[in-house]
């Protein structure tokens, strides 16, 4: 059984058209009115005759993540096997749902995300500011989540298998616009397999409530926090492997080389005496070893990306 979750906030002009385009492959549709000032949920109750649709109302605004989590938890209470999340603003084509869920049905993945970067022509309709912001966040997300083969991590069009969704503590997933990136982190901790499918975003007169520039300043710090947690879980707490050794060497040699070299350079400037060859090598060698160890760690981390689906 396939369920679709649609968080709604200021999408009154798009929601009915979106619901009308959802195909027969979907069994249940959960519309979550996230304290929408346009009363989108009430509009759906009054004008949508699709028996698959259930409208949930939030007493206060929980954010796109919080609204999505409520819909996912509601879907998990039933007999849903696959849960699809799609935004209500019309940017995502619901006719792509069969393509999105196919890797789950074929037991090739635990979660599938849309990828607007797959083909160059897909990018022509994307606003330049969003293109710049999403490109920068995509690389940072690779490092924090460990899903090096993924692009477009902030894309909200995804499908997840119920078996994997039940392993996630949804209370700990970010309720706001960091939701999609934070979900990848929790999937990585669960060792879930995540794949991309190409999609073309449909940009029109919809209004985004997310400031790209604000995200560029806030999201990197959140990603750093995720990266530290992921490294601790996967390379210290759960296992100690070659990647752990490479990371240990990086943390040992690189800071020593940088600080020692900086200190010796300062003394050389203050005294006017040139540093000896041995002193220079004592600073350079740890930097080289630390850098090479970091590259080796990245290679091992890339190879360590999950490839065995956890769904039953």
- Give percent of the chain above pLDDT 70: 89
Pairing of strands 2-8, 53-57: unpaired
C-beta separation of 156 from 86 below 8 A: yes
Output the six-digit token pair for 241.
């492997």
Q: Between the CA of residue 231 and those of 57, 178, 302, what are the distances in Å?
A: 38, 20, 13
Same domain (yes/no): 155, 274:
no
> In whole angstroms, what is the distance from residue 96 CA to residue 126 CA?
18
Report the pLDDT value the prediction gives residue 58, as an integer from 0 to 100. 95
Look-up: residue for tokens 């600080």? 259
Q: Are residues 173 and 201 in the same domain?
A: yes
- Convert the pLDDT of each residue in 178-226 to its tens digit: 898 899 999 999 899 999 998 876 665 555 555 556 666 777 888 889 9
Looking at the structure, tell me whether residues 180 and 255 fall in a common domain.
Answer: no
Q: What is the pLDDT of residues 227-254, one digit of tens each?
A: 999 999 989 988 888 999 999 999 999 9
Residues 154 and 81 sit within 8 Å (Cβ to Cβ): no
Residue 114 lies in a domain: yes
Pair 68, 10 in one domain? yes
**Contact between residue 146 and residue 231 where contact means Cβ atoms under 8 Å apart:** no
Q: What's the mean pLDDT in 253-273? A: 90
Over range 289-304, report the average pLDDT. 94
Shared-domain flag, residues 81 and 100: yes
pTM for the full predicted model: 0.86
Last residue within a domain, chosen from 217, 235, 253: 235
Environment class of residue 213 by beta-carbon count within 10 Å: exposed (0-12), middle (13-18) or buried (19+)?
A: exposed
Assess whether 114 and 224 both reside in one domain.
yes
CATH code for the domain in which residue 177 is found: 3.90.550.10
CB burial of residue 126 (10 Å; 0-12, 13-18, 19+): middle
pLDDT of residue 159: 97
Q: Which residues contact 147 (CB under 8 A, 6 or more apart)?
A: 141, 153, 184, 187, 188, 194, 305
Q: Check whether residue 76 and residue 93 sit in a common domain.
A: yes
**204: three-class secondary structure by DSSP:** coil
CA Rg value for the chain? 23
Q: Strand 53-57: give its sheet, edge to edge.
A: 53-57, 28-33, 2-8, 82-85, 158-161, 111-115, 194-198
Say whether both 254 and 174 belong to one domain.
Answer: no
Same structural domain for residues 249 and 110? no
Within this chain, do residues 190 and 257 fall inside the same structural domain, yes or no? no
Task: Give CA–CA dist 190/160, Å, rounded.
Answer: 13
Q: How many domains does the chain have?
A: 2
Domain span at residue 290 reads 240-303
pLDDT for position 212: 59
């Amino acid at each position: 059984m396939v369920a679709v979750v649609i968080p709604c906030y200021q999408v009154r002009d798009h929601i009915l058209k979106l619901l009308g385009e959802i195909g027969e492959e979907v069994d249940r549709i959960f519309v979550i009115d996230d304290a929408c000032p346009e009363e989108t949920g009430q509009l759906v109750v009054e004008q949508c005759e699709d028996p698959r649709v259930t409208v949930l109302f939030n007493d206060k605004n929980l954010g796109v993540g919080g609204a999505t989590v409520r819909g996912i938890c509601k879907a998990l209470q039933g007999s849903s096997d696959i849960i699809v999340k799609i935004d209500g603003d019309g940017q995502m084509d619901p006719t792509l749902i069969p393509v999105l869920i196919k890797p789950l049905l074929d037991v090739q993945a635990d979660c599938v995300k849309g990828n607007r970067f797959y083909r160059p022509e897909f990018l022509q309709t994307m606003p330049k500011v969003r293109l710049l912001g999403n490109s920068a966040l995509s690389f940072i997300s690779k490092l924090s989540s460990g899903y090096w083969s993924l692009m477009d991590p902030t894309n909200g069009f995804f499908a997840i298998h119920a078996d994997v969704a039940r392993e996630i503590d949804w209370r700990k997933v970010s309720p706001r616009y960091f939701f999609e990136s934070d979900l990848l982190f929790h999937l990585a901790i669960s060792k879930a397999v995540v794949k991309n499918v190409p999609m073309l975003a449909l940009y029109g007169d919809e209004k985004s409530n997310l400031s790209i520039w604000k995200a560029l300043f806030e999201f990197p710090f959140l990603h750093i926090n995720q990266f530290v947690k992921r490294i601790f879980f996967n390379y210290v707490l759960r296992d100690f492997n070659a990647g752990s050794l490479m990371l240990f060497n990086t943390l040992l040699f690189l800071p020593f080389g940088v600080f020692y070299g900086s200190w010796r350079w300062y003394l050389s400037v203050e005294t006017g005496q040139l540093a000896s060859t041995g002193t220079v090598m004592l600073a350079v060698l740890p930097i080289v070893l630390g850098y090479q160890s970091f590259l080796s760690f990245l290679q091992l981390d890339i190879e360590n990306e999950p490839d065995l689906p956890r769904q039953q």
